[in-house]
Structure 1
Amino acid sequence: MKRLVQIQNGSTRHVAFVEEPHLHILAGVSSIYELAQQAIESETSLFALIRERATGGLLDYDAIYSGSSPWQLLLPIDHPENPARCLVSGTGLTHLGSAKNRQSMHTGGDEQLTDSMKMFRWGVEGGKPADGEIGIPPEWFYKGNGSILRGHGDPLDVPPYADDGGEEAEIAGVYLIDANGQPHRIGMAIGNEFSDHKFEKKNYLNLAGSKIRTCSLGPEMVIDPDFGSIAGKVTLKRGGSELWSKEILTGEDEMCHSLRNIEQHHFKFETHRRPGDLHVHYYGACALSFGDGIELADKDLMEISFNGFGRALRNPLHVAKEQAPLIHIQSLK
């Protein structure tokens, strides 16, 4: 598997592929978006383009990853013109371990079958359709546009109007829509979908609003990964000491929806196939620290890793201290 990063030093940007412990700069390309566009237009593979352009220099990945280099890790994907041309979304209740967390969040026990559990069971029954068939739709939600995405090392925000913020360790798919409206999967990356679970717990109808928060991606883009069964780990640290950790699993073997079915129900909407747009789609989490009673605090560190997906994604938590502002709307008279 090829793993790519985007890096920047002042006004200079590069794409590089990971060749541990180095980054190998790709010549003649400054973004993964540009590289993907070139692959589409030339009708060649990303693998072929990476081999062709691997003529640049080597950089020390350790220094860049730790933040001690003038080179800075960027998000593994961004839109070159406008972050609003990147739609960030996600799919819930996709993992065989996810429904238990959701069920316990909205009931006092297992005796009452919630709408979440009903939707999960529908996924178990019809989320992996046979070839040529369309399965049951998964739960889908909107996160925001590309302006809410954060990279490795960037803080994730609990805004003044939020009740809390908690990690959701996932894999996210990254897609580009070509000039003819055809979606192309560029690759996948580690993601922290990050949501307001306290707000959601008050009432399931708060789910949509609880998702409109910053979220993170990276540090690496993995091209054509094996998405069968992927082992990972989530670790939360407070003051340098481990607060909570859990071994997790993701991938199609651990899910009740196939990747093909998730993609079908995201891209069936014509508005999701607008030429030139990017899409970042989180595939779902199997475990949450919130489900184990953990409440994160300011400056806590969230670390997520998945086997085969490169170096871990780390983000500190930033809790806003100010009061939520009253928004004044002006009428155009």
Structure 2
Amino acid sequence: MVHLVQIDNGLSRRVAMVDEPYLRCLNDVRSIYQLAQSCLQSGERLSDLALALAQGETLDYDAVYTGTSEWRLLAPIDVPEQPSRLTIAGTGLTHLGSAKDRQAMHLANTGRDAEIAEKPSAAVTDSMRMFQWGVERGRPAPGEIGIAPEWFYKGNGAMLRGPFEPLTVPAYAEDGGEEAEIAGIYIIGGNGMPYRIGMTIGNEFSDHQFEKRNYLNLAGSKLRICSIGPELVIGADFEVVEGSVQIKRGAETIWSKEIETGEANMCHSLANLEHHHFKFEGHRQPGDVHVHFFGAHSLSFGDGITLRDGDWMEIHFDGFGRALRNPLRTESKDTYRLVQASSLA
């Protein structure tokens, strides 16, 4: 497997291959997007081209990662100067742990305690029904089409943050919490078909308190910034992926959990998730990039944790390189202002 990062020093940017404990810069490449475009045009394998070009300057990865270098880590994919050409989306209810959390969240405010006590089947929410459909029909035989998973949109490239950048709870939001996931990175070729560039660690940051109020708020709860990185893994093994997530408050770890993802831990196959995202013509525009989150195993919110300003979220998955770390920032409610459209009539 080849691991790539994008770095910037304020004057220039580069792509580098991870060769622990070093970064080996690729010659004449400013972005992974550029590298992927070259492969689409030449037919060359991305890993082969990256290895061939990794003959540039060698950097100390520890210094870059800890912030003592002039170089800083960027998100490992973007569309330079055209962030609107990058779509961020994802699929939920793909992991058993997340289904249990969602079931509990959506039952919390139903006001149906008596009905549920008398008839337990009444406790099955729409979320749990959709999860059960995934268990039954989310892993179709090769060449067949399975059932559609839950799908959500998060925004375009303007909403993407790199490692160590703050994830902000907006003034209008009710909450903000981590979702530790793997994200697939795709580019659309000139033939209108998707190509998977690789996979990376992701924090699909969401407003769980807003969603808990009513499950129809799911769409709005997902329209938040998120983070991926630091490393984009080319040719990653996605069968069984073990990891861990931690929430740190000062010197104290206030919550941590061992997590699992990968196809063996999901009710939907990767092929089924990809089909149902890219079946839409609007998701197959040549030159566009897609960051697609595959779902979370567990959330700190599900264990009653409320994140505060200054907390750090840290996510690690075996085989995906160094941990993704981001601090949480909370905007003051005093900054919330009415957004009013002006007329051009």
TM-score, normalising length: structure 1: 0.98
**What is the count of residue pairs matched by the alignment?**
333
Q: 1:324 aligns with which of 336, 339, 345?
A: 336
What does residue range 89-128 of structure 1 map to in structure 2 within 5 Å? Answer: 89-108=89-108, 111=120, 112-128=123-139
Which runs of 5 or more residues in structure 1 are unaligned? none
Give, in angstroms, the shift of residue 173 of structure 1. 0.4
Alignment-mate amino acid for residue 155 of structure 2 = G
Give, in angstroms, the shift of residue 13 of structure 1. 1.2
Distance, in Å, in 1 between the alignment partners of 2:21 and 2:193 is: 36
Q: Which residue number corresponds to residue 17 of structure 2?
A: 17
Alignment-mate amino acid for residue 34 of structure 2 = E
Distance, in Å, in 2 between the alignment partners of 1:168 and 1:47 is: 29
Which runs of 5 or more residues in structure 2 are unaligned? none
Give, in angstroms, the shift of residue 128 of structure 1. 0.4
Distance, in Å, in 2 between the alignment partners of 1:250 and 1:143 is: 21
Q: Which residue number corresponds to residue 259 of structure 2?
A: 248
Q: Name the SS of the counterpart of 1:208 in structure 2.
A: helix
Q: Name the SS of the counterpart of 1:219 in structure 2.
A: strand
Q: Which residue number corresponds to residue 273 of structure 1?
A: 284
Q: Which residue number corresponds to residue 49 of structure 1?
A: 49
Give, in angstroms, the shift of residue 81 of structure 1. 3.2
Distance, in Å, in 2 between the alignment partners of 1:117 and 1:328 is: 38
Alignment-mate amino acid for residue 18 of structure 2 = V
Q: 2:215 aligns with which of 194, 204, 216?
A: 204
| 92-101 or 59-68, which deviates more | 92-101
- After superposition, the C-alpha distances for 1:150-179 in whole angstroms (9 at most, x for unaligned) are 110000010010000000000000100011
Distance, in Å, in 2 between the alignment partners of 1:265 and 1:328 is: 36
Give, in angstroms, the shift of residue 80 of structure 1. 2.0
Q: Which residue number corresponds to residue 155 of structure 2?
A: 144
Distance, in Å, in 1 between the alignment partners of 2:248 and 2:125 is: 33
What does residue range 204-223 of structure 1 map to in structure 2 within 5 Å? Answer: 204-223=215-234
Distance, in Å, in 2 between the alignment partners of 1:21 and 1:149 is: 26
Alignment-mate amino acid for residue 149 of structure 1 = L
1:171 lines up with 2:171 in the alignment: no
Q: 1:187 aligns with which of 178, 188, 198?
A: 198
Q: Name the SS of the counterpart of 1:220 in structure 2.
A: strand
Give, in angstroms, the shift of residue 240 of structure 1. 2.0
Distance, in Å, in 1 between the alignment partners of 2:53 and 2:324 is: 27
Q: Name the SS of the counterpart of 1:199 in structure 2.
A: helix
Alignment-mate amino acid for residue 227 of structure 1 = F
Q: Which residue number corresponds to residue 301 of structure 1?
A: 312
Distance, in Å, in 2 between the alignment partners of 1:238 and 1:10 is: 30
Q: Name the SS of the counterpart of 1:165 in structure 2.
A: coil
Q: 1:130 aligns with which of 141, 144, 149?
A: 141
CA RMSD in angstroms comes to: 1.0
Q: Which residue number corresponds to residue 228 of structure 1?
A: 239
Alignment-mate amino acid for residue 78 of structure 1 = D
What does residue range 254-269 of structure 1 map to in structure 2 within 5 Å? Answer: 254-269=265-280
Q: Name the SS of the counterpart of 1:263 in structure 2.
A: helix
Moved over 3 A (4+): 108-111
1:88 lines up with 2:88 in the alignment: yes
Give, in angstroms, the shift of residue 48 of structure 1. 1.2
Q: Which residue number corresponds to residue 160 of structure 1?
A: 171
TM-score, normalising length: structure 2: 0.95
Distance, in Å, in 1 between the alignment partners of 2:81 and 2:73 is: 19
Distance, in Å, in 2 between the alignment partners of 1:220 and 1:35 is: 15
Distance, in Å, in 2 between the alignment partners of 1:262 and 1:10 is: 37
Distance, in Å, in 1 between the alignment partners of 2:223 and 2:229 is: 19
* Percent pairwise identity: 62
- After superposition, the C-alpha distances for 1:282-332 in whole angstroms (9 at most, x for unaligned) are 000010000000000001000000000000000000000133111122112
Give, in angstroms, the shift of residue 47 of structure 1. 1.5
Distance, in Å, in 2 between the alignment partners of 1:274 and 1:298 is: 39
Q: Which residue number corresponds to residue 298 of structure 2?
A: 287
Distance, in Å, in 2 between the alignment partners of 1:317 and 1:117 is: 30
Alignment-mate amino acid for residue 37 of structure 1 = Q
Distance, in Å, in 2 between the alignment partners of 1:189 and 1:40 is: 21
